[in-house]
A and B are shown apart, each in its own frame.
Chain A
């Protein structure tokens, strides 16, 4: 499959980012005329104070140019700020659209993968959608424009300096490129160490959360004090490790500081000695004047500024590149090679579904391979309209895989499945809309209980409060909801009111019951891990739901198997009757 492309800028965004870099560079370059104006004004001042004997004449000759200089300075300042703002905003927009696209890519992958396929854990995936994509922002908006700035600004400043003095330019040229060399030397060591440290922080945070989640267990074993000491020790270890990394990292920025301070100091000394007349080389022909000397001194810090900004944003680059790698890895995991796409493009025969009455389900010579293992082979099953099939067999005998195949979540190796004459893969979401389904581990979603129930209804806007209570009654969940503090408005989910496994199962059954127009009922181990009372509620509900539907229930619970219907044991299939398992 190769490298999955995610978190990369499009040509348009790349252009935006480049333009943002140009704007930032242009804003920096305007410092050259500003420095010129300052040097000129102060140069005029100096000459008037020390070279011209008549001071009265000086005031008029100085204040005029000084006023022009100050005005120019102000105008340029405004222009600089505007350019800088425009550039930053442009980079921000490009980064935002890039981040949006990366998120959409991830979510599309999640929505299109077959629900039965292996998928990264929800926590890891959510962390990628949120934090990892967040890391892309600073990389593109902070770091990217710096690259262009770094290429343009120092060069322009060296040229401007060289116009007046080749020696000062040489000083900058020597100090400048030395910086990256030293920083790279130190930075390489820091990078490896900081990657370790990042892992260590993740581990530390994980340990803290893990211990907090298990507080009750710790208390029950009287292990709280010991754990407190462990956590303190782990925190201290982490702090020492981090400081070790930072000491190296700070060393690299100190080298940068040192060279930039040295560069400025050398320039100041060179200019000072030239002006004293002790040094007559370095300029082109005539000795260096005061204003050009000051100009050189003013420019020197700006030569180093882009280098410092680049170094400061370097961290964003590392985080951004790591995020890019992580994102393309998780995107690859979302579409494992050779897995079945949930839907096929073939639009034909979708209309056949609209036939009135209950559909029949036909499984003809079906063979399913999952991860190279044969789940079932040449499997045949005909379910009459309205019939109830109770699917049984030891765990891993393929009950769940068969139900997934009926839902179109797996693609058959051979043979075909027809539901009401249509292949589930072709019908796609249209088919799923006509199915009542109760899974092995049903999941409710963040939101109110009512919102969760309404997900079952095909047309939620037509569902009345009475309909909801009827569905809850069918699932034996009336008492349970009545007991909740806010009834149907109770928020469900990690954050909300905690429901037990059995309660979730009953709510899920009510959700299924709200799909009143469904013609098919599929249930997968509906009573797994339920106590007898709750299981009885669920079975009674299923019995009612199955009455007017073509039904398949996978189970190994004897109580469920006592429902009226045809029992098919996947372990002891008679070849003539239903099919063959290899």
Chain B
């Protein structure tokens, strides 16, 4: 529940004036609705009295008020909806940006489970409930109830007593529902839904495996078992929701009945006129609707709390995300130093791991040299690549690029000097051109074609009807594994780095494709030094020098 408060506070801080304005404007239609019925009731009763007694009644003031209230209610509701929704969407859009920023800050990658990501967008979208269905109706109901209580206190004690009693009843029911918010069931429903999704994904993606190992029907049954759990939990939630709605509705109805009784009695006792009595009854009739608006939000709260908790994990702590330490005084290297990259006594351990991946590890890569680092999986090769690309920073020791400590490079500078070609190049679900321009935003079409040409992918892209504007991914250009690797190669060719890092670049490619990709790369690498991480002979054969890593190396 704390996360809920934090999200609400975050929305308040995001734009205080919008937040408050939304609540304020929401008061107008709610108050106008109450008054409209009250004044109408008063008006017809006063008219009846005037009709009976033949006395004069000013009909213009009340009818003008009724007209004004009808307009205020209609217009106010429109303004309220537009304002509150706009405020919420502004906040959610800001939240998306902030979550992206947090995740892009150093050290946030890899630690995030796919599950969290898959639900991220759904969770964010669900957070609109907090302001729209809880904060706004909650504050409006509270303010109206308080104002009414003040008004009742100026009438008679019994009226005040009855009104306060029922407002307290509402408060009690809501507080009870809040304090007993069934988070366990919400979590169970959530887990069941997730299990259903995962098991269905497994069932469809692994149909061959399941047909032979375990059986498809059995797998379908496990999904349905999760479904059953989901329905059991949802039934509990729905029953609770029904109960809360019924309780709130019943309180409203009883309030009406009690108001009728106390008003008749007070009017008979001569405390106020019949017209006033009718106005009181009709206000009592209109109040439950305003208060009932809270019920939806309260019922959804346990689930929203889960979504808020998950989003909260991805949100930055309050205050701006700490910028990466940056030192901008990079000496402009007049002549290239002899050593492009050197690791000096580097040690590294992954958080939570029992032992170091690298320990007292060092090597030097001369300018223009091609160095291969080989070894079995798990020996720390990829850690070397990640360290050299500054995706992680060493626990001990120093890494020098062009003779200067890697950590002192400003990000932009470093990224223009080092290019990485990995085994799983990520291609974005965007156009071919956009995918290439990630490497160089100012590249014109000629450059892009030239890079594609070098990667021998130009013909393939040219054959697509939309050319560079073809969208990658589903329904668009389906590139094979080798073609994807070549697109990544074209992307790398758009940069002019001092150092290329190849991290298992031809992993998963068959021999022929791998040879083509490698040949293309070495034909166009230019003067740059190359650090190759590989366990394949075909790659290592291109190296000037080979470094074989055993487990826990100390070279």
How many residues of B are counted as interface, with CB atoms below 8 angstroms from the partner's CB atoms? 136
Q: Tell me if B214 and A46 are in contact (CB < 8 A).
A: no
Q: Tell me if A115 and B214 are in contact (CB < 8 A).
A: no
Instruction: Enumerate chain B residues within 8 angstroms of A275, measured Cβ to Cβ.
Output: 44, 47-48, 50-51
Cα of A448 to Cα of B254 in the assembled complex, Å: 56
Cα of A222 to Cα of B391 in the assembled complex, Å: 12
Interface check A3, CB cutoff 8 A: no
Cα of A224 to Cα of B412 in the assembled complex, Å: 10
Interface check A383, CB cutoff 8 A: no
Cα of A494 to Cα of B93 in the assembled complex, Å: 28
Interface check B313, CB cutoff 8 A: no
Which chain A residues (283-313) contact chain B, with CB distance < 8 Å? Answer: 290, 293-294, 297-298, 301
Q: Tell me if B41 and A297 are in contact (CB < 8 A).
A: yes
Which chain A residues (7-49) contact chain B, with CB distance < 8 Å? Answer: 38, 41-42, 45-46, 48-49
> B94-102, B339-347, B455-463: which lies at the A interface?
B94-102
Measured between C-beta atoms, what is the minimum distance from B520 to chain A in Å?
19
The answer to whether residues A66 and B260 also contact, given A49-B267, A103-B227 and a CB cut-off of 8 A, is yes
Instruction: Enumerate chain A residues within 8 angstroms of B196, measured Cβ to Cβ.
Output: 103, 126, 129-130
Interface majority SS (helix, strand, loop, mixed), chain B: helix
Cα of A210 to Cα of B103 in the assembled complex, Å: 13
Q: Tell me if A50 and B415 are in contact (CB < 8 A).
A: no
Interface check B215, CB cutoff 8 A: yes
Cα of A537 to Cα of B329 in the assembled complex, Å: 51
Residue of A nearest to B231 (CB): A96
Chain B 442-473: CB-based contact to A (< 8 A → 1; otherwise 0): 00000000000000000000000000000000
Interface check A163, CB cutoff 8 A: no
Instruction: Enumerate chain A residues within 8 angstroms of B199, measured Cβ to Cβ.
Output: 446
Interface check B411, CB cutoff 8 A: yes
Instruction: Enumerate chain B residues within 8 angstroms of A208, measured Cβ to Cβ.
Output: 96, 100, 120-121
Q: Tell me if B51 and A511 are in contact (CB < 8 A).
A: no
Q: Tell me if B43 and A272 are in contact (CB < 8 A).
A: yes
Cα of A409 to Cα of B213 in the assembled complex, Å: 15
Interface majority SS (helix, strand, loop, mixed), chain A: helix
Q: Tell me if B51 and A41 are in contact (CB < 8 A).
A: no
Q: Tell me if B82 and A38 are in contact (CB < 8 A).
A: no
Cα of A139 to Cα of B268 in the assembled complex, Å: 50
Task: Select which of A45, A78, A432 is within 8 A of B211 by beta carbon.
Answer: A432
Instruction: Enumerate chain A residues within 8 angstroms of B509, measured Cβ to Cβ.
Output: 529
Cα of A439 to Cα of B210 in the assembled complex, Å: 11
Measured between C-beta atoms, what is the minimum distance from A204 to chain B in Å?
8
Instruction: Enumerate chain B residues within 8 angstroms of A78, measured Cβ to Cβ.
Output: 250, 253
Q: Tell me if A110 and B204 are in contact (CB < 8 A).
A: yes
Task: Select which of A100, A276, A531 is within 8 A of B51 by beta carbon.
Answer: A276
Q: Tell me if B49 and A238 are in contact (CB < 8 A).
A: no
Instruction: Enumerate chain B residues within 8 angstroms of A127, measured Cβ to Cβ.
Output: 197
Interface check A217, CB cutoff 8 A: yes
Cα of A244 to Cα of B155 in the assembled complex, Å: 46
Please tell me the size bucket of the interface on A.
35 or more
Interface check A153, CB cutoff 8 A: no
Interface check B86, CB cutoff 8 A: yes
Chain B 224-268: CB-based contact to A (< 8 A → 1; otherwise 0): 100100010011001100100110011001101110110011011
Which chain A residues (74-94) contact chain B, with CB distance < 8 Å? Answer: 74, 77-78, 80-81, 84-85, 88-89, 92
Interface check B363, CB cutoff 8 A: no
Measured between C-beta atoms, what is the minimum distance from A4 to chain B in Å?
18
> A116-124, A415-423, A538-546, A563-571: which lies at the B interface?
A116-124
Cα of A528 to Cα of B66 in the assembled complex, Å: 80
Q: Tell me if B278 and A42 are in contact (CB < 8 A).
A: yes
Q: Tell me if A207 and B429 are in contact (CB < 8 A).
A: yes
Q: Tell me if B438 and A218 are in contact (CB < 8 A).
A: yes
Interface check A385, CB cutoff 8 A: no
> B140-148, B163-171, B418-426: which lies at the A interface?
B418-426
Task: Select which of A62, A126, A217, A223 is within 8 A of B268 by beta carbon.
Answer: A62
Q: Tell me if B268 and A130 are in contact (CB < 8 A).
A: no
Measured between C-beta atoms, what is the minimum distance from B138 to chain A in Å?
20
Q: Tell me if A125 and B200 are in contact (CB < 8 A).
A: yes
Task: Select which of A119, A130, A209, A211 is within 8 A of B197 by beta carbon.
Answer: A130
Interface check A473, CB cutoff 8 A: no
Instruction: Enumerate chain A residues within 8 angstroms of B201, measured Cβ to Cβ.
Output: 122-123, 125-126
The answer to whether residues A77 and B40 also contact, given A207-B429, A443-B209, A511-B213 and a CB cut-off of 8 A, is no
Chain B 35-68: CB-based contact to A (< 8 A → 1; otherwise 0): 0110011011101111111000101000100110
Q: Tell me if A294 and B41 are in contact (CB < 8 A).
A: yes
Measured between C-beta atoms, what is the minimum distance from B374 to chain A in Å?
10
Which chain A residues (243-261) contact chain B, with CB distance < 8 Å? Answer: 243, 246-247, 250-251, 253-254, 257-258, 261
The answer to whether residues A277 and B36 also contact, given A107-B220, A272-B43 and a CB cut-off of 8 A, is no
The answer to whether residues A250 and B44 also contact, given A66-B260, A74-B254, A242-B89 and a CB cut-off of 8 A, is no
Measured between C-beta atoms, what is the minimum distance from A346 to chain B in Å?
19
Residue of A nearest to B234 (CB): A96
Interface check A379, CB cutoff 8 A: no
Cα of A238 to Cα of B385 in the assembled complex, Å: 39
The answer to whether residues A407 and B212 also contact, given A208-B96, A494-B115, A533-B535 and a CB cut-off of 8 A, is yes
Give 3 nearest A-B pairs by CB, closest first. A222-B415, A77-B253, A205-B121
Known: A122-B204, A235-B96, A272-B43. 17 other contacts (CB 8 A): A42-B277, A50-B53, A70-B261, A74-B253, A110-B204, A227-B100, A228-B104, A232-B97, A243-B89, A253-B77, A265-B67, A265-B70, A276-B50, A297-B41, A445-B209, A493-B202, A494-B114
| Residues of chain B at the chain A interface (Cβ within 8 Å) | 36-37, 40-41, 43-45, 47-53, 57, 59, 63, 66-67, 70, 73-75, 77-78, 81-82, 85-86, 89-90, 93-94, 96-97, 100-101, 103-104, 109, 112-115, 117-118, 120-121, 125, 193, 196-217, 219-220, 223-224, 227, 231, 234-235, 238-239, 242, 245-246, 249-250, 253-254, 256-258, 260-261, 264-265, 267-268, 273-274, 277-278, 281, 285, 376-378, 389, 391, 411-412, 414-416, 418-420, 425-430, 438-439, 441, 474, 491, 495, 507-510, 535-537
| Residues of chain A at the chain B interface (Cβ within 8 Å) | 38, 41-42, 45-46, 48-51, 58-59, 62-63, 66-67, 69-70, 73-74, 77-78, 80-81, 84-85, 88-89, 92, 96, 99-100, 103-104, 107-108, 110-113, 115-116, 119-123, 125-127, 129-130, 201, 205-224, 226-228, 231-232, 235-236, 238-239, 242-243, 246-247, 250-251, 253-254, 257-258, 261-262, 264-265, 268-269, 271-273, 275-277, 290, 293-294, 297-298, 301, 342, 407, 409, 429, 432, 435, 437, 439, 442-443, 445-446, 455-456, 483, 493-495, 500-502, 508, 511, 515, 528-529, 531-534
Show 23 A/B contacts (Cβ-Cβ < 8 Å), sorted by A: A46-B45, A59-B268, A63-B264, A88-B245, A100-B227, A104-B224, A130-B197, A205-B125, A209-B120, A211-B100, A212-B100, A213-B426, A214-B428, A218-B104, A220-B391, A228-B101, A236-B93, A253-B81, A275-B50, A407-B211, A432-B212, A446-B198, A495-B115
